[in-house]
Amino acid sequence: MSRRFIRWAVVLGAVPVLATPLVASGTAAAAESLLSQNKPTTTSSTEDATLSGALAVDGSATTRWASAEGADPQWIAVDLGGPATVTRVKLSWEAAYAEDYRVETSNDGTTWTTRKTVTGGDGGTDEIAGLSASGRYVRVHGTKRATAYGYSLWELEVYGSRTGGGDVTPPTAPTGLAVTASTTDSVTLAWQAAQDDVGVTGYEVLRNGNVVATSATTGYADTGLASGTTFTYTVRARDAAGNLSSASAPVQASTQPGSGNGIVLVVAGDIAKREVPSEHTQTAKLVEGIKPQHVLTVGDNQYDNGTLEEYLTYYDKTWGKFKAITRPTPGNHEWYDKLNGYKSYFGNAIATPQGKPYYSWEIGDWHFVALDSDPLTDGVTGDQITWLRQDLASNTKACVAGYWHHPRFNSGQYGDLKPIAPFWDELLKAKADVVFSGHDHHYERIKPLNASGKVDEANGIRSAIVGIGGDNLYTQIKPRVGVEKSFAKHGVMKLTLSGRSYSWEIIGIDGKVLDKAGPYTCR
Q: How far apart are CA 320 and CA 278, in angstroms?
A: 15
Same domain, 242 and 330: no
Q: What is the CATH number of the domain that holds 128?
A: 2.60.120.260
Same domain, 133 and 203: no
Q: Read off the pLDDT of residues 62-110 as tens digits, 9 standing for 90 and up.
A: 889 999 888 899 999 999 988 999 999 999 999 899 999 999 999 888 8
Same domain, 209 and 101: no
Same domain, 190 and 248: yes
Owning domain of residue 187: 175-254
For position 22, what pLDDT does the model report? 34
* pLDDT at 505 > cutoff 90: yes
- Which residues have CB under 8 Å from 485's CB, separation 6+? 443, 444, 445, 515, 517
Region 323-333: what's the mean pLDDT? Answer: 97
Quick check: 152 and 124 in contact, CB under 8 A? no
Q: Is residue 225 part of a domain?
A: yes
Same domain, 93 and 212: no
Quick check: 158 and 34 in contact, CB under 8 A? yes
Region 382-391: what's the mean pLDDT? Answer: 93
Q: How far apart are CA 167 and CA 239, in angstroms?
A: 9
* pLDDT at 439 > cutoff 90: yes
Q: Going by DSSP bridges, is the β-strand pair 399-403/366-370 parallel, antiparallel, or unpaired?
A: parallel
Q: Which of 128, 162, 196 is the last residue of a domain?
A: 162
Same domain, 413 and 361: yes
Q: Is residue 489 part of a domain?
A: yes
For position 429, what pLDDT does the model report? 96
Same domain, 278 and 395: yes
* pLDDT at 221 > cutoff 90: yes
Q: Is residue 5 part of a domain?
A: no
* pLDDT at 341 > cutoff 70: yes
Q: Is residue 24 part of a domain?
A: no
Q: Is residue 2 part of a domain?
A: no
Region 407-423: what's the mean pLDDT? Answer: 93
Q: What is the CATH number of the domain that holds 204?
A: 2.60.40.10
Quick check: 424 and 465 in contact, CB under 8 A? no
Q: Is residue 28 part of a domain?
A: no
Please name which of 132, 104, 133, 136 lies closest in space to residue 242, comparing C-alpha atoms.
136
Q: Which burial class, exposed, middle or buried, applies to 314 when counting CB atoms under 10 A from its CB (0-12, 13-18, 19+)?
A: buried
Q: Is residue 247 part of a domain?
A: yes
Q: 41 or 319: which carries more pLDDT confidence?
A: 319
Same domain, 359 and 385: yes
The pLDDT mean for the chain works out to: 89
Report in angstroms the alpha-carbon separations of 446 from 116, 258, 412, 501.
49, 23, 12, 17
Same domain, 369 and 501: yes
Percent share of the chain, pLDDT over 90: 73
Q: pLDDT confidence of 502, banded at 50, 70, 90?
A: very high
Percent share of the chain, pLDDT over 70: 92
Q: Read off the pLDDT of residues 1-50 as tens digits, 9 standing for 90 and up.
A: 233 332 333 333 333 333 333 333 334 445 789 999 989 898 999 887 77
Region 156-176: what's the mean pLDDT? Answer: 88
In which element (H, E) is residue 222 found? strand 219-223
Q: What is the CATH number of the domain that holds 376?
A: 3.60.21.10
For position 240, what pLDDT does the model report? 84
Quick check: 50 and 103 in contact, CB under 8 A? no
For position 333, what pLDDT does the model report? 97
Q: pLDDT confidence of 149, banded at 50, 70, 90?
A: confident
Please name which of 473, 424, 471, 469 lies closest in space to residue 446, comparing C-alpha atoms.
424
Same domain, 424 and 333: yes
For position 104, what pLDDT does the model report? 97
Q: How far apart are CA 431 and CA 447, in angstroms?
A: 15
Please name which of 94, 145, 103 lies closest in space to residue 121, comparing C-alpha atoms.
145
Q: Read off the pLDDT of residues 391-402 as tens digits, 9 standing for 90 and up.
A: 999 999 999 999
Same domain, 280 and 401: yes
pTM of the model: 0.74
For position 24, what pLDDT does the model report? 38
Q: In Å, how far from its chain's centre is CA 457?
A: 33
In which element (H, E) is residue 424 found? helix 421-429
Q: How far apart are CA 14 and CA 129, in angstroms?
A: 9
Same domain, 435 and 470: yes
DSSP characters for 279-300? HHHHHHHHHHHH--SEEEE-S-
For position 503, what pLDDT does the model report? 94
For position 9, what pLDDT does the model report? 31
**Region of 243 on the Ramachandran plot (φ > 0 left; ψ -120 to 50 alpha; else beta):** beta
Q: 276 or 170: which carries more pLDDT confidence?
A: 170
- Which residues have CB under 8 Å from 178's CB, separation 6+? 189, 190, 191, 251
Please name which of 465, 371, 454 lies closest in space to residue 420, comparing C-alpha atoms.
371
Q: How far apart are CA 282 and CA 508, in angstroms?
A: 9
Q: Is residue 126 part of a domain?
A: yes
Q: How many domains does the chain have?
A: 3
For position 4, what pLDDT does the model report? 34
